[in-house]
Structure 1
Amino acid sequence: MIPALHRMTACIAVLMLIALPAWAHKASDSFIYVDPTQAQVRIDLALRDLALVLPLDSNGDGKLSGAEVRKGREAITRLVDQGLTLSNGSGPCQLTGRQWGVSRHSDGPYAAGRYQVSCPDSQVPESITYSLLFEQDPLHRALVSVTNSQGERLGVLAPDDRTMSLGTSTGTFGNSLKLFTTFLYEGIIHLLIGLDHILFLLVLMLPPTLPLKPRRSTQAPRGRDLRNRLLELVGIVTAFTVAHSVTLALAALNIVTLPIAWVETVIALSIAVAALNVFWPILGHKTWKLAFGFGLIHGFGFASVLGNLTSGVSQTVVALAGFNLGVELGQLMLLVVLFPLLYFCGRFRLYERAAVPAMLLMVGALSLYWVAERASAI
């Protein structure tokens, strides 16, 4: 009895720890557009990110007005000078500001600056190095679009990969392969740090681990073998995967776009509804239908990375394929780790009676908090 109690206590502790990291913040992105042949570069930095490192909110009301952004222009420009470098074989190039203003991406307003690039030998820049905001947010990424005589290509700059070549010496296949692997990795990371997506998957995994309810009050709860549980899980995950893959492609290719603020709010709401549906099946017992329906919305959330970079780029399809596969791999990694744990814990009555309700209550409360927080920003 005592060893079983200890094992159940360990299960509860681990399950609670799964949800605790969900208080962390969402990673941020900046956008860089480089035209080496025209010796120009544009950088867009989210105002919410700049407010973390610069005293832009002078009146302390938690919002940035146009006047406050204009007042902070000099500080923003100095920050860009410190963290963005273009260079070639002769050394670093000089950036001269040409245009400055505010742009808007799907997740809000950005400070946008366009610069003329002057290299020491009057030749084109050959590489770009970026180091902004990595100290404040190690999950921050700079998404880069490079335009030259051979077309456009995409890239990602991260804390462990801060420099990118602006040339195409690896050839078309080499560039496409590098782009695919880069966005494959980013897809995995995006899933693993997307805590709202993780909690939604966690809630979807719970029904296959619970015993079936009796058909009549006189019957005892019926168990399910591992094979049936895995088949149910496969159906749920497949429905979620198909749904979010469809809307991810539609949004990334700019066929269908939705305001990201509304999307993120509905994603948070979907977690609360899914949690409620586990014990009060207001949307029915077919969890795969729930996974498919809300998966369509989650796909728009995944697409916020690709859809903001550029439109019409020739390698968008390659980036999309890599990113989507990365999301699926990240999802598979979670399933491989979490489902065996949940299945093991399901052997104990305390799992259904205490651990699952407590976990659902925590997840539901957190998701409703996210709903209120995100709705206030709409």
Structure 2
Amino acid sequence: MKQSEHLAPFALLTGLLLLLISSAVQAHKASDSFIYVDQHQSEIRIDVALRDLALVLPLDRNGDQKLSGSELRASRDRITRWTEQGITLSNASGDCRMTGQQWGLSSHSDGPYAASRYTVDCPDGSVPETLEYRLLFAQDPLHRGLVSLESGEFSTLGVLAPDNRHFSLTSEGAPGNLALFGAFVYQGIVHLLIGLDHILFLLVLMLPATLGKPNGTERAGLKPRLRELTGIVTAFTVAHSMTLVLAALEIVRLPIAWVEAVIALSIAVAAMNVMWPVLGKKTWKLAFGFGLIHGFGFASVLGDLTSGISQTVLALAGFNIGVELGQLVLLILLFPIFYLWGKTNHYGKAAVPVMLIAVGAVSLYWVAQRVTAI
């Protein structure tokens, strides 16, 4: 074999390890803010995660890496001014005025948020027609503003992003069912692709279908391996879809901090089981069991939104399909590479153990990081 053919797999492995190391502190719930607009009451509430506020404001005054009640109270004016400059409500008569009514902390699935409630007054006395959102996009291009709109005539949900900063607050301009569905399909894809913990779990689940037999002989051809991979992925999909629905519809809720810790632990356990199959060689069972936990992690994106049940179900269906599409794209890209790599002598003896050790180490780091933060 040519030297370049030897180097290519190791270049891929090196790139993967660098990805793990550089992203070790980034595997957490996506950055979201929640905007609740009530047209009937002429009110808006904006919830911003304290961890996001800490990126733009000096909240931790004594530098002890913790936010006390006194530090938050001292930062109240700074937080509200920063929030207000990133939100604009308007209609045909011009920009509307937001008057602060209540400020405090709210609890979402991933921790504490600063919550600000305002009454809205427009120059012509009518309700606002457009919302423009600009918070945190400069700090995090993957940040999203999740909107829940309630009106006497209708209710709907929406997603604001760097390339889509405006949201219509009228029944004529609000997204239709198809647009709402498409927006959450896209968000599901993004959520899967930026969720490094979910990606690593998929990678570990895929590896057994790329390995030869324990004695080093070649396993049967591509079709049996694809059947094995299909069973694994189907089990994972069915499991996380079940718990995603249960959690997003608030039938079952688990503390997201513990869910994220168990998700990280699931990666280490799955990696260990590839090397020493103490939990059995039928990977689909492992995929189903831990998939139930991963579903609660996916649901944390939608579980804090409120709107009409039809919009919630539509958003839920779109988000879940987006997660599956993102998962499918990853497998289509990765499996052929690892399948061909598996034909080389060093793959099972060197490359896979190194990958499993690296993945296990990073996931255990996440476990420690997340447990200490609880």
TM bucket normalised to smaller = over 0.9
The alpha carbon displacement at 1:152 in A equals: 1.9
Q: In the TM superposition, what is the alpha-carbon distance from 1:310 to its structure 2 partner?
A: 2.0
2:321 maps to 1:318? no
How many angstroms apart in 2 are the aligned matches of 1:189 and 1:331?
10
Q: Alignment partner of 2:335: what SS? A: helix
Q: Aligned match of 1:349 in 345, 355, 366?
A: 345
CA displacement 1:126-160 (0-9 Å, x = unmatched): 01011101111111111100000123210011111
Correspondence for 1:136: 139
User: Residues of 2 paired with 1:8 and 1:116: CA distance?
Assistant: 59
Query: Would the alpha carbon gap of residues 265 and 249 (structure 1) be closer, same or farther in structure 2, given more than 3 Å must change?
Result: same
Q: Does 1:307 align with 2:310?
A: no
d(CA) in 2 for partners of 1:19 and 1:229? Answer: 27
* 1:249 is aligned to 2:252: no
Asked if 1:53 is matched to 2:53, the reply is no
1:7 deviates by 3.9
Partner of 1:217: none
Contact 1:239 1:292 in 2 (8 A): yes
Aligned length: 371
Percent same amino acid among aligned pairs?
Answer: 65
The answer to whether the Cα contact below 8 Å between 1:197 and 1:298 also exists between their aligned partners in 2 is yes
Matches within 5 A, 1:11-50: 11-16=12-17, 19-20=20-21, 22-23=23-24, 25=26, 26=28, 27-50=30-53
In the TM superposition, what is the alpha-carbon distance from 1:8 to its structure 2 partner? 3.8
CA contact (8 A) 2:209 2:225 kept: yes
SS of equivalent residue, structure 1 residue 128: strand
Offset, 1:60: 0.8
- Encode CA deviations 1:212-260: one digit per residue, 9 max, x unaligned: 224xxxxx62422100110000000000000000000000000000000
C-alpha separation in 2, matches of 1:158 and 1:210: 41
Matches within 5 A, 1:198-347: 198-214=199-215, 221-310=217-306, 313-347=309-343
The separation in 2 between residues aligned to 1:196 and 1:375, in whole angstroms, is: 15
> Where do residues 126-205 of structure 1 align in structure 2 (5 Å cutoff)?
126-169=129-172, 175-205=176-206
User: How far 1:11 moved relative to its partner?
Assistant: 4.3
Q: Structure 2 stretches of 5 or more lacking a match?
A: none
TM-score w.r.t. the length of structure 2 is 0.96
Q: Secondary structure at the match of 2:373?
A: coil
Q: Which residue of 1 aligns with 2:72?
A: 69
Alignment partner, residue 106 of structure 1: 109
Contact 2:198/2:294 (<8 A) preserved = yes
- In structure 2, relative to structure 1, the CA distance for the partners of 1:371 and 1:24 (3 Å cut) is closer
Alpha-carbon separation, structure 2, partners of 1:6 and 1:293: 37
Q: Aligned-pair distance for 1:65?
A: 1.1
Would you say the 8 A contact 2:131–2:168 is kept in 1?
yes
Q: CA deviation at 1:5?
A: 2.2
* SS of the residue 1:125 aligns to: coil
CA contact (8 A) 2:145 2:159 kept: yes
Q: Give the secondary-structure state (helix, strand or coil) at the position aligned to 1:234.
A: helix
2:365 — aligned with what? Answer: 369
Instruction: Give the distance between the partners of 2:95 and 2:9, measured in 1 at CA.
Output: 60
Aligned equivalents of 2:22 and 2:47: distance in 1? 29
The alpha carbon displacement at 1:329 in A equals 0.3
In structure 2, what is the Cα distance between the partners aligned to 1:10 and 1:316? 44
Residues 312 and 88 (structure 1), Cα distance of their counterparts in 2 relative to 1, 3 Å cut: closer
Secondary structure of residue in 2 paired with 1:288: helix
Taking structure 1 as the reference length, what is the TM-score of the superposition?
0.95
Matched residue type, 1:71: A
| Maintained 8 Å contact 1:153/1:313 | no
Q: Deviations over 1:58-107 (max 9, x none)?
A: 11111111111111010011101210111001111111001111111111
**Per-residue deviation, residues 287-342 of structure 1 (Å, max 9, x unmatched):** 00000000000000000010011266431100000000000000001001110111
C-alpha separation between the residues in 1 aligned to 2:23 and 2:282?
Answer: 27
C-alpha distance 125-312 of structure 1, shift in aligned 2 (>3 A):
closer
Q: Which moved more, 1:295-304 or 1:121-130?
A: 121-130
Closer, same or farther: CA 180–21 of 1 in aligned 2, 3 Å: farther
Distance 2:244 2:74 in 1: 38
**Distance of 2:13 and 2:173 partners within structure 1:** 51
Partner SS, residue 32 of structure 1: strand
The DSSP-based 3-state class of the residue aligned with 1:369 is: helix
Question: What is the SS of the residue equivalent to 1:306?
Answer: coil
